[in-house]
Structure 1
């Protein structure tokens, strides 16, 4: 979507509206999503764009789905998103289009990263599934960096671990992200004989 067609202040206004409807102060909402009042105020005024992790935490604080927060649309028996009708929003480090509907089980979005850009570190309850559609990205999960993920590569991980997505390729990258709302059970760190599973016989 051309830059001129993206309303960069929409998400901030939406957050402010939902906060006001609930009678919450900036400080009250900021405390719920682990932001400072200054950071939240800058997001609402569009002086700063929220990260994906912050959007997910805000949606959960409001008791709405990511689709309701970002698109402001309701879904009936099913949610259909045609390619030509996707709504794109600015977020910190890139652009995002929500693909999931008004159902509480998961959030799905299409993340677009320009060459050299990164999504700020995020962490939230639940699990996350990432699939690279185009381009090349690096994914850092906690202290481990997975480099040169290309089209078709997928990663599934506990979303409460800090994670960062970066476009390290020569072209725009598109990444499908699906996040669940179910808290992830505490899993033991893999020992020398228990490396993360890789489908091609190589440790991630």
Structure 2
């Protein structure tokens, strides 16, 4: 952890275009102490972090990479794409993304069109059932069942029921979610 804080301090100083001597003038911390902080040989004190955060114009939490605090709840904002409703269950863009996906009854969906894209997909059926066409094979995945696959395999997912929606929790890999949420 000390090395990570030190590396962060060094990056900030270099980004600001400051030498150790110039930073010392701004903070009142000796150049030798600044050097030891940046190499991780000593742990910064609160008395050192305050002038460093002022010199760099960043909150102290950014200097030590403190975890974010605040409301951990994800605010659900449904998005409609490809006739489906996607409800994001994660906040951060990129990386692994989780969604609740609502598949309307079959009568309202377009006919199956197999797609491929980079990524990996996993889903769990909450209610109803979904039809997964994967590489030409058809599978019906029912309530309480899960499936996962490499999205470079041609695939399509839909609701085989004509009278009720199906709901799934889906997790998309870092490339996979882009194709599902942005129309091309």
TM-score (norm 2): 0.50
- Higher-Rg structure is 2
